[in-house]
Structure 1
Amino acid sequence: MGNMSTSRFSPSELTAILDTFDTLPGVPEVRARTYDLLPPDGLVADVGCGAGRAVVELAARGVRAVGVDLDERMVGLARERFPGGDFRVGDACALPFGDGELRGYRADKVLHDLAEPERALAEARRVLAPGGRAVLTGQDWDVLVIDSDDGELTRRIVRARADLVPSPRAARAFRALLLDAGFGEVAVEVRTVVLAEPGVEAFLARVAEAARAAGAVTDAEAEGWTAEQQERARRGRAFAAIPLFVASATR
C-alpha cells in the first residue's frame, strides 16, 4: 500500500486491512485489469507492494515481478507470506533499479500517500525502458459515496478523512501527472466498488473515528453517525461506493 505511513498499524494489522479491501466484491477484477495493462515480458516492479499479493499474482501469470516497499516491516512480512518472491526495500522516489531496467511499473494505492506524486512518476519514467508501461490505480479520497440520513455531517466526515491523506486527489490527476512526466498513450478507466455486504459498517466506523480524531466532528456526532450506519447494516440498508481510477501510459 504504497510508501504509506504505516506507523499507526503493526504489519499484521495493516495486512489484515489490505487483505479485507483486496477481497471486496469488484476489487480482484480491478487488480486483474492492472495486470492486463502491463507488458507480459521483462521485469515488472510493483511499487508500494505491501504484503506482496500482486507480486505473487503476477508471477502466477508468468510475469517476472519484483515488489518494492518503503516499510522494511512490510517487506519482511511479504517475504514470510510468499517465500521465493522478490521483495526489496525502496522508496517510490528513489527506486533500486537502473535507468531503463524495467518493462513494467505498477503502483496501487501509492500516489495519494506522497506529498509530491510527480516525483514518483519522474522516477517511474527513469526506470522504464522505452516502450515500457506504467499502470496506476487508487481512489480519490474526496469521492467516497455513503448513504446516510445526514448528508451535511457525512460530507464533513468524508472531507476530514480525505484531509488526512497527503495527496487525496492524486487519482483524479493521474492523467495530467503522467502527461507532465513525459508519458504517452495515457488512458484512464474508472471502476466502482460497491460496499453493501455485512461488515461495511466496520469500515464506516473507522472513517468516522478518523474524522473525530481530527477534530472535524464531535464525539456525539461520530457516535450518532456510526450508530445510524450500524442500524442500516442491521436492516441490510448500509451502502457505500468507492470509485477506483486505473491509469496506464507508455514510456
Structure 2
Amino acid sequence: MADTHTAHTDIDTLIRMLDAAETMPAAARLRARSYELLRLPPDATVVDVGCGTARAVAELAEQAAHAIGVDLDPAMLAAARSRFPDIDLRVADAADLPLADGQAHGYRADKVYHVLPDPPAALTEARRVLAPGGRIVLLGQDWDTVVIDSDQPDLTRRIVHARADTIPHPRIARAYRNLLRDTGFHDVDVEVHTAVFTGATMLPLLVGHATAAQQAGAISGDEAEDWVSEQTRRAQDERLLIAIPMFLAAGTR
C-alpha cells in the first residue's frame, strides 16, 4: 500500500509541475509554434504521442483537427479524460501506434523521446503512420544543459550532470535534426527556445535533481540537503532561476 501511495504522490506532483509549466505564457507560445510547424490542412488527423494530461490534444482539437492522444501511463490518461472528456485518447506504445499506414497528416511528441526505450523505432513508426507530405514535430529539453542559479556552482554542475545520467536519453533533443534525417524525413529544421522558471512551484524538480544525484553517489546527503535548502531560500526570496533549453525540430514525410 505504501508503494502505491508513493506512486500516486509522484504522479500528482508531476502533474502539478506540468500544469505550472504548461500554463506559463512562454509554454503556451511554444506549443502554438509546434502546432504551426505541423502545417495541418483542414480536418487533418494528428497524433500527439506521449500526450500526458492531453492539453495539446485538446488545443489541436479546437483547430478542427481530428486529434488523437496516445500515452502508456494510465494515471496520466485518467487525468486527461477527467479534464477533456470529449477527446480521442488511446493507450499505446510510441513504437506501435493504433493508426493505419499513412492515416495521419501530423505527428507531435513533446518531452517524451528522452524516456523511450528505442527512439529510432518510434521515428520509424511515426513515418509509417504519416501520409506523404505529412509533418512531424518533436519538442524536448536537453537535460545536460539545465541552468540553475546557485551560490554553489560546482555542486550544481555535479547535480545537473548526475541527474542527466539517470535519464535514458538525456541529450536526445540536440540530436532531433539528425535523427529525423536518418529516418528519411526531409525539410528538417530545428529551433531552440529557452524555458525560464522563477516560481516555487518548480522546487520539486530541484529536489528530484538533488535526490537523484545523491542516489547515484555523485553528492553526499549533507550536500543534497544544503543545496535544497539554498534553493528553498531562493524560492522564498523570489530569487529562484531555472533555465532549460527546449529543442523544437520539424520535418516532412
Q: Determine helix, strand or coil for the equivalent of 1:37.
A: helix
Instruction: For residues 88-140 of structure 1, give each alpha carbon's deviation from its aligned partner in whole angstroms, at most 9, with x where no partner exists.
Output: 01100111111111000000011101132111111100110000000000001
C-alpha separation in 2, matches of 1:16 and 1:9: 14
TM-score where L is the length of structure 2: 0.91
The TM-score, its normalising length taken from structure 1, stands at 0.91
Match of 1:215 in 2: 217
Does structure 1 residue 109 correspond to structure 2 residue 115?
no
CA separation in 1, counterparts of 2:84 and 2:115? Answer: 25
Amino acid paired to 2:251:
A
Sequence identity of aligned pairs in percent? 53
**1:1-251 equivalent positions in 2, closer than 5 A:** 9-10=7-8, 11-38=11-38, 39-41=40-42, 42-251=44-253
CA RMSD of aligned residues (A): 1.8
Amino acid aligned to 2:147: V
Alpha-carbon deviation of 1:62?
A: 1.6
The one-letter amino acid of 1:15's match is I
The Cα of 1:72 is off from its aligned counterpart by 2.9
Specify the SS of the correspondent of 1:168: coil
Structure 1 residue 146: Cα displacement: 0.9
SS in 2 for 1:249: strand
Give the Cα separation in 2 of the matches to 1:209 and 1:189.
31
CA distance in 2, matches of 1:115, 1:139: 17
Instruction: Give the 3 Å change call, closer, same or farther, for CA 220–30 of structure 1 in structure 2.
Output: same
Q: Is the 8 A contact 2:48 2:69 kept in 1?
A: yes
Identify which range, 33-42 or 59-68, moves more after superposition. Answer: 33-42
Using the TM superposition, give the Cα deviation of residue 239 of structure 1 relative to its aligned residue in structure 2, in angstroms.
1.4
Q: Distance in 2 between matches of 1:143 and 1:40?
A: 36
> After TM superposition, what 4+ stretches of structure 1 lie above 6 angstroms from structure 2?
none
Q: Which amino acid aligns with 1:238?
A: L
Q: Find the aligned partners of 1:18 and 1:8 in 2 and give their Cα distance.
A: 18
Q: How far has the Cα of 1:226 moved from its partner?
A: 1.2
Aligned partners of 1:18 and 1:114: how far apart in 2?
19
Instruction: Give unmatched runs, 5+ long, in structure 1.
Output: 1-6
Once the two structures are TM-superposed, the CA of residue 8 in structure 1 deviates from its matched residue by 6.9
Query: Cα gap change, 1:164/1:8 in structure 2, threshold over 3 Å: closer, same or farther?
Result: farther
**What amino acid does structure 1 have at the position aligned with 2:27?**
V
Q: How far is 1:155 from its partner?
A: 0.9
Separation of aligned partners in 2, 1:191 and 1:48: 20
CA contact (8 A) 1:200 1:239 kept: no
